[in-house]
């Protein structure tokens, strides 16, 4: 077993997941602040991205102006190439020194977007997950869940240029949401947070979840 494996680390790994427009970025800040207030060293990061090389891959993945579409396999491999770099350069070193990592998306997004959305065979994703993560999994994953109609309004309200994923059809996002929900319902690592009410109520639910799940690790 290598030094980066899960058994050797002391920090905790928390991920936030959900479709577009669920409020992940704001709530990642909330989780980081909650942990920092309890004296924990927090490394905030995101996927795809989190290191200069992985951020360069992110650009390749999200750029809506590229004329050549990625094949499903190329997209899948790019996502995992970014993840391999992120794990090696940022996530594992942080966990190994005892810091907690809070990551905006991780491999559940690959199952939801490439698996559910694009229809890539889940076995192919599991094979790459095993290869790249070597047993490392988040300790806790908050799935922020909202109906598509609410999410679409929030994305439109941002007024920013849509990236390559945000331009997908409703059927794509329905499959993304369904995949996230079925993964979350099957695995105690997840907490499903209803992210449709006001931000204040959503953060109240997140704080309650952190009290229940994280307090035991402190």
Of 34, 165, 180, 190, the residue at the interface with ligand TMP (CB under 6 A) is 165
Instruction: Pick the closest to residue 145 from 22, 12, 63, 38 (CA basis).
Output: 22
Closer to ligand TMP by Cβ: residue 13 or 113: 113
Least distance in angstroms from the C-beta of 28 to ligand TMP: 10
Longest dimension (CA), the chain: 50
Nearer to ligand TMP, 40 or 58 (CB): 58
Nearer to ligand TMP, 165 or 180 (CB): 165
Q: How far is the CB of 156 from ligand TMP (least distance, A)?
A: 15
* Residue 105 binding ligand TMP, by CB under 6 A: yes
Q: Using CA atoms, how far apart are residues 198 and 218, in angstroms rounded to an integer?
A: 29
Q: How far is CA 190 from CA 111, 145, 186, 204, in A?
A: 14, 12, 9, 17
Phi, psi of 147, rounded to the nearest 5 degrees: -60, 150
Q: Structure tokens of 106? A: 């991780």
Distance CA 100, CA 129 (A): 21
Name which of 40 and 87 has its Cβ closer to ligand TMP: 87
Instruction: Report how far residue 213's alpha carbon sits from residue 31's, in angstroms, rounded to the nearest whole number.
Output: 13
Between 104 and 145, name the residue whose CB sits nearer to ligand TMP.
104
Please give the residues from 48 up to 67 whose contact with ligand TMP meets the rule CB under 6 A: 48
* Region of 7-15, 110-118, 146-154, 207-215 interacting with ligand TMP (CB under 6 A): 110-118
Stretch that binds ligand TMP, among 31-39, 105-113, 123-131, 178-186 (CB under 6 A): 105-113
Would you tell me how many other CB atoms lie within 10 Å of the CB of residue 106? 25
Q: Which stretch binds ligand TMP (CB under 6 A): 43-51, 140-148, 153-161, 185-193?
A: 43-51
Place of tokens 């979840």: 209
Interface residues with ligand TMP (CB under 6 A) are 46-48, 79, 104-105, 109-110, 113-114, 165
């Amino acid at each position: 077993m290598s030094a980066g494996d899960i058994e050797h680390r002391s920090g905790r790994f928390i991920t936030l997941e959900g479709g577009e427009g669920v409020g992940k970025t704001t709530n990642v800040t909330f989780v980081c602040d909650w942990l920092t207030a309890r004296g924990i060293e927090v490394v905030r990061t995101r996927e795809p991205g989190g290191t200069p090389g992985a951020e360069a891959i992110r650009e390749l993945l999200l750029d809506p102006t590229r004329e050549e579409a990625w094949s499903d396999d190329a997209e899948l491999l790019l996502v995992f190439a970014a993840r391999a770099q992120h794990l090696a350069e940022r996530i594992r070193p942080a966990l190994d020194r005892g810091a907690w990592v809070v990551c905006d998306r991780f491999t559940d997004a690959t199952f939801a977007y490439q698996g559910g959305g694009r229809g890539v065979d889940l076995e192919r994703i599991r094979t790459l997950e095993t290869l790249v993560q070597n047993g490392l999994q988040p300790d806790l994953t908050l799935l922020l869940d909202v109906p598509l109609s609410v999410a679409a309004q929030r994305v439109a309200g941002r007024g920013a240029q849509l990236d390559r994923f945000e331009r997908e059809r409703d059927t794509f996002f329905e499959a993304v949401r369904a995949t996230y929900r079925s993964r979350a319902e099957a695995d105690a690592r997840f907490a499903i947070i209803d992210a449709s009410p006001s931000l204040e109520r959503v953060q109240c639910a997140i704080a309650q979840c952190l009290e229940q799940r994280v307090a035991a690790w402190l």
